[in-house]
Structure 1
Amino acid sequence: MNPIYLALDLPRLDAAVALAQKVKGHVGGLKLGLEFFCAHGHHGVHELAKVGLPIFLDLKLHDIPNTVAGAMQAIHVLQPAIVTVHAAGGRAMLEDAKAAAGDHCKVVAVTVLTSLDDADLAATGVGGTPHDQVLRLADLAQEAGLDGIVCSGHEVGEVHRRWKNGYLVVPGLRPAEAGHLADQKRVVTPRSARDAGASVLVIGRPIARAEDPVAAARAIEATL
């Protein structure tokens, strides 16, 4: 299975569908985030599902347990392959999210966003490094019965050692020849993340904004 999920946070639905159709032979799924879902809703997800690839709804649900469970039930009709919730919502929320998910939907918990570093965490009152916090939240997600977590490539190796069958999603990836993005602070290459144990590699701008998205997707696929 191709582990690459293309992040499709484009403002225009027709452009997102066109890009997905263009690169579908070189990616394993489509990740639709908050920006996409707020702009295009259920209709947009249905349109992307017609491309024929698994859909990853990266909604990062975070609320009281009952509300998150209700939200999970509301997206059953979309038949997502993966949905994200925030690990910081606590064990009860994580358990209810998993219980409310569809039979074939993996629920994964977002640990620490790849845009955050030590100083950012300290400013929110979290002690320790992003690495420490990821491991704490990964343990919580595993205890709550989730399928896996979302973490950066810097932590995925250690999480994989602790959670052998965990479904590990790694965003913020950049091919070796590409520079880092200003809003991504903890970044690795797709190959290094895969070698460390990543199940899913989320890649957006390096493909979506490339002059030739098909060539970019093919080149990344070839490194794996």
Structure 2
Amino acid sequence: MRNSLIIALDFPAKRQVLDFLQAFGDEKVCVKIGMELFYSEGPDIVSYLKEQGHEVFLDLKLHDIPNTVRSAMKSLASLGADMVNVHAAGGQEMMEAALEGLDSGTSSGNRRPLCIAVTQLTSTSEEQMQTQQLIQVPLQESVLHYSKLSADAGLDGVVCSAYEAGMISRHIGAEFLTVTPGIRPASGVAGDQKRVATPQFAREEGASAIVVGRPITKSAAPLESYRSIKKEWEGVLL
């Protein structure tokens, strides 16, 4: 899913997803299924979107004891998602267990889903991290620490803000994925996100992929909004 614009399908049910995707006709896109949609519709929503030809990032942010995460990932591997994720705060052993589960659950001859780890949510500010998580280092240092831990565990990359993407690439390497939510057009509203950035900024910082939700899903013209944001992400002059 490198270089992708991933649309966050933050809808409560499949019906709203179908209504939204109607605007895209036969165009195939990369989409993110989060907890709201997955808990409402179950595994079938992944299968349906894959059957329609879309790439799927299954964003469930697993964070539990290693054995539980291993077993859960073994089940998720069979769904056909292209990418899944965990919380890096679960630790290196848990992340290694996630990969073991994905490997054992992936059918012979198929490629296992990419696995990335959430570092710090883009809705988290440095002040919140320090006062509520009691992590007494700068936010960027925390993100880099979690990124290195994820790389040591063998994961394919991390979820971070666009502000940390360049730093992570410099320290770990450009092949290590940096998937960046909190992306808004310059005229967009931040909403509940704290560390927001434009598609152009994410591209200039070397982000591997961007995740965009409400600027597209809440748009009166979602296909036009998607194409406009995609052009900015790809560096196409408007």
Q: What TM-score does the superposition give when structure 1 sets the normalisation length?
A: 0.94
Alignment of 1:87-102 (within 5 A): 87-101=88-102, 102=106
- Name the CA shift for 1:179/1:105 in 2 (closer, same or farther; >3 Å): same
Corresponding residue SS for 2:42: helix
Alignment of 1:63-102 (within 5 A): 63-101=64-102, 102=106
1:143 to 152, 157, 175: 152
Corresponding residue SS for 1:161: helix
2:116 to 103, 108, 118: 108
- Name the CA shift for 1:24/1:109 in 2 (closer, same or farther; >3 Å): farther
The C-alpha deviation readout for 1:9-46, integer Å capped at 9, x for no partner, is 10121221232343376674110001111111112222
Give yes or no for the alignment of 1:162 onto 2:171: yes
- Counterpart AA for 2:126: D
* 8 Å CA contact 2:84, 2:116 repeated in 1: yes
Give the deviation of 1:2 after TM superposition.
5.5
Separation in 1, partners of 2:159, 2:146 = 10
- Name the CA shift for 1:91/1:16 in 2 (closer, same or farther; >3 Å): same
- Name the CA shift for 1:172/1:27 in 2 (closer, same or farther; >3 Å): farther
Separation in 1, partners of 2:138, 2:26 = 39
Q: Which position in structure 2 is the counterpart of 1:47?
A: 48
* 8 Å CA contact 1:27, 1:217 repeated in 2: no
Give the deviation of 1:120 after TM superposition.
1.1
Moved over 6 A (4+): 24-27
What is the CA RMSD across the aligned residues, in angstroms? 1.6
**Structure 1 runs not aligned, ≥5 long:** none
Give yes or no for the alignment of 1:187 onto 2:196: yes
**Structure 2 runs not aligned, ≥5 long:** none
Separation in 1, partners of 2:94, 2:3 = 31
